[in-house]
Amino acid sequence: MRKKLFKTAFLGLAGLAVLGLASCGEEQQNQDLEDGTHKSIALDVSQTLKTSDFTNDGDKEIIFYHTMGDSLQKVLQTAIDKFEETYPGWKVKASQIGGYDDVRNSCTSGLSAGNQPDLAYCYADHVAVYMKTGKVANMAEYINATGTIDGKAIGYTQTEIADFVQGYYKEGFATNYANYTQYGYKAEDVLTMPYVKSTEVLYYNKTALDEVGLTVPTTWDELWNACQALVDYYPTCTPLGYDSEANWIINMCEQNGWGYTSAESPYYLFDESQELASWLDGLKAKYDAYYFTTQKDYGSYTSALFTKGPEAGGTVFSIGSSGGASHQASDNFKWGVAPLPGSKLADGTVNYSAISQGPSLVMFDTEAANASEKQLMTWQFVKMLEEPAYQASFSMVSGYNPARLSSFEIEEYEDFLANTKDIAAVTANVASQMTDRFFTSPAFNGSSTARDQMQSVLLYVIKGQKSGQKALADAASACGK
């Protein structure tokens, strides 16, 4: 039997235990947050307002937590400069906290101590934790505002709301969060606004597929058949790299109608799905046949294997974020980008659902003496981050998709998307055509832990340490079920 050339050291039980401990620590931190009830803003945003009438000695620095690297911070600075020029005396302090989990942990700690930021990058799982404090601002109060501030509209018109990609926009509705009424929120409330979005796509080596006589797979069955042919043709390659173990499980649950989580008790459903357990067991056989590797199995993002090419022991397919397209580019072969493969169902149809990712923006109630004024100005900064031209500029650097439809009508962005030699542009095109396939998982206090556990589940099974059923049962227990 051939030897895998790139496998990292065996990820043993101790290593996986660390994942479990991290989740437990996160849950303890979440439990330390005090429950609260959300209160409406005090300012009358149906009136004509002026910043010159605001409290002169109030806090005029807006704190924004994010994860942006240097190149994206340069784009962000253009919005900050515009905001500070538009509203003299007001400042934005943008802080790069680390990764998404670091932002979550910093916000959670800040909420516990009463020194949370005014604005932060977020995922729905994070907001499900924050909202129990009642300090997540209800953006609907600003979205629906009819007043102005320094002559500029506070809210959005119905036409402007329709300009948002609706799947992205509706992710922020309070109804997507479990127990939202318990903390003072209403069905019509909006807890987040979309920033930029991504999904998972299939990057493929067109040169290798043509050499073997294969077409781009559109279903998982087709992909596994291609993997067998590729293993036979390129003895040292492992055909598929998947960058997120958790996303793989969550995507398969959505495509096949298997239970993952629910917005209502008992919340955790994955351990009740015999179909999911069987799929995991079948995945181990494919792993043993060297059909695939994953990020944690390989020890790094699998794009590094994809760019090597199959002749050098790399992969032919890479499933990863559309926001990371630039890392998949290679001059060694012709590459291509396609939607995530779908699952063929018993009735012969194919479900092509794909997870929606990418940061949203959450606002927090502030402890400042001029709280209502500061929150209004934070909202005005949010509006600048949502402007179509800014969204297009950010997308061209990041590879993420804009949240506004009119961004696609900006000439510079149209030119960017027309560049078939730029993998980020090609990927953005593919992802923009997948919006009707996007889904998000229910968000509740503990959904982030469930996601972490899915990574452990897949690794336990493919390493032969647990059966699918045992791994799922243990994961449910770790989630507190």
pLDDT at 400: 92
Domain boundaries, the chain: 13-20+198-356+440-478, 33-195+358-409
pLDDT at 38: 86
Specify the amino acid at residue 305: L
Count Cβ atoms below 10 Å from residue 392 Cβ, excluding itself.
22
pLDDT at 448: 87
pLDDT at 32: 65
Residues 6+ away with beta carbon under 8 Å from 84? 90, 91, 92
Q: Which residues pair with 219 in a beta bridge?
A: 342
Assess contact for 194 and 171: CB atoms under 8 A.
Answer: yes
pLDDT at 328: 96
Give the Cα separation of 228 and 234 in Å (integer): 10
This prediction has a pTM of: 0.86
Q: For the chain (length 481 residues), average pLDDT per consecutive 10?
A: 41 40 45 76 88 87 96 96 97 95 94 95 94 95 97 98 94 93 95 96 98 98 98 97 97 97 93 97 98 97 96 97 93 97 97 95 93 96 98 93 96 96 94 91 90 96 98 97 94
DSSP 8-state symbol, 2: P
Domain over 33-195+358-409 is classified CATH 3.40.190.10 = yes
> What length is written for the chain?
481
Strands of 399-470, DSSP E: 401-402, 438-439
Domain over 13-20+198-356+440-478 is classified CATH 3.40.1110.10 = no
pLDDT at 19: 40
Check if 13-20+198-356+440-478 and 33-195+358-409 are the same fold: yes
pLDDT at 35: 84
Give the Cα separation of 231 and 234 in Å (integer): 5
